[in-house]
Amino acid sequence: MIGILPGVYKAYNSDVTVHVQKSVTEVSPGDFHALVIPGGRSPANLREDKAVVEFVKKFFETGKPTAAICHGPQVLVTAGVIGKRTLTGFPEIEGELTAAGGTFKDVEVLVDGNLVTSRIPGDLPAFSRAVEKLLLR
Amino acid sequence: MIGILPGVYKAYNSDVTVHVQKSVTEVSPGDFHALVIPGGRSPANLREDKAVVEFVKKFFETGKPTAAICHGPQVLVTAGVIGKRTLTGFPEIEGELTAAGGTFKDVEVLVDGNLVTSRIPGDLPAFSRAVEKLLLR
């Protein structure tokens, strides 16, 4: 997992911990086959980090699978890559996705080109299957 | 002051308290001469409240002075009112303001029609003067 700073992070609402092995400044889009941006409260911070936004923009432009769930699409908005895509996300971010030019649909998963998006934790099975399908393409 | 729920709120980074007298559901745009959306962490929550977003949209459409500082313009993005306006805001939200169609400028205050925006707490004097000027128009 990559992030702003390497370290072990605890989820704000559970005891789950995640290990961020590398800073986004140490990697390049060529190092990965896909990018998955999870939700929660982190996208509000990730979207304000210049290196993260630049990495996401560059990664997206490679055409490789880019996936975001819950508040994750907020980072895609700031990266300026929504364009005219059809996508979904946490219901409360519909307004900003639409303002960014996207078409919002309230469904468990949407695949539009290399972009995979889902709304909520309950969508994770469909979300994961869609990412896997793009990787096996 | 209006907000999601009436009550006394303490700032997250100081001992300043603010009194929210009424919920946004109890008021209408006709009750006010101007709308000022402050920054900090509240816009991330305000923009996810349907009643707030609806109120901001309706207020903005009256053409009365609407002002936002720091992260405040995020609420305007979700309300879908940025359009082709020239505006400013907290530097880290530039990407989403641009994605929403706006033209971002890094200056202490911008007035575009009924919209007044500023970047940071240090811009407050210029911000306040600009709002006052629109009110005296």
pLDDT tens sequence across A81-95: 999 999 999 999 999
Residue A105 lies in a domain: yes
Percent of chain B with pLDDT over 90: 93
Q: Which domain holds residue A36?
A: 28-135
**Band of pLDDT at residue B14, cut at 50, 70 and 90:** confident
Q: Which of A71, A78, A81, A127 is catalytic?
A: A71
Q: Which pTM value belongs to this model?
A: 0.91
A62, B66 Cβ separation under 8 angstroms: no
What is the model's pLDDT at position B41? 87
Residue B2 lies in a domain: no
Residue B33 designated active-site:
no
Residue A9 lies in a domain: no
Looking at the complex, does the CB of residue A48 fall below 8 Å from at least one CB of chain B? yes
Number of Cβ pairs closer than 8 Å across A and B?
48
pLDDT at B33 over 90: yes
A75, A84, A96, A104: which to substitute to probe chain B, counting the most B Cβ within 10 Å? Answer: A96
Residue A17 lies in a domain: no
Residue labelled with tokens 């970047």: B119
Residue A72 lies in a domain: yes
- Number of structural domains in chain A: 1
Residue B122 lies in a domain: yes
Residue B13 lies in a domain: no
Strand partners, A110: A117
Determine the distance in angstroms separating the CA of A90 from the nearest CA of chain B, rounded to an integer.
10
Of A29-43, B8-22, B26-40, the poorest mean pLDDT is in: B8-22
Q: Which residues contact B135 (CB under 8 A, 6 or more apart)?
A: B33, B34, B65
- Give the mean pLDDT of A75-80: 98
pLDDT in tens, A36-75: 999 998 999 999 999 999 999 999 999 999 999 999 999 9
A99, B80 Cβ separation under 8 angstroms: yes
Contact A100 B99 (CB under 8 A): yes
Contact B48 A98 (CB under 8 A): no
Looking at the complex, does the CB of residue A44 fall below 8 Å from at least one CB of chain B? yes
DSSP 8-state assignment for residue B134: H
Residues of chain A positioned with their CB less than 8 A from the CB of B55: none
| Three state DSSP letters for B5-47 | CCEEEECCCCCCEEEECEEHHHCCHHHCCCEEECCCCHHHHHC
B84, B104 Cβ separation under 8 angstroms: no
Of A47, A92, A99, the CB nearest to B80: A99
What is the model's pLDDT at position A14? 86
Question: What are the phi and psi torsion angles at A22 (to 5°)?
Answer: -140, 150
State the CATH number of the domain containing residue B43. Answer: 3.40.50.880
- Which residue of chain A is at minimal alpha-carbon distance from B96? A78
Residue B21 lies in a domain: no
Closest CA to A21 of A35, A42, A4: A4
Residues of chain A positioned with their CB less than 8 A from the CB of B74: 96
What is the model's pLDDT at position A11? 84
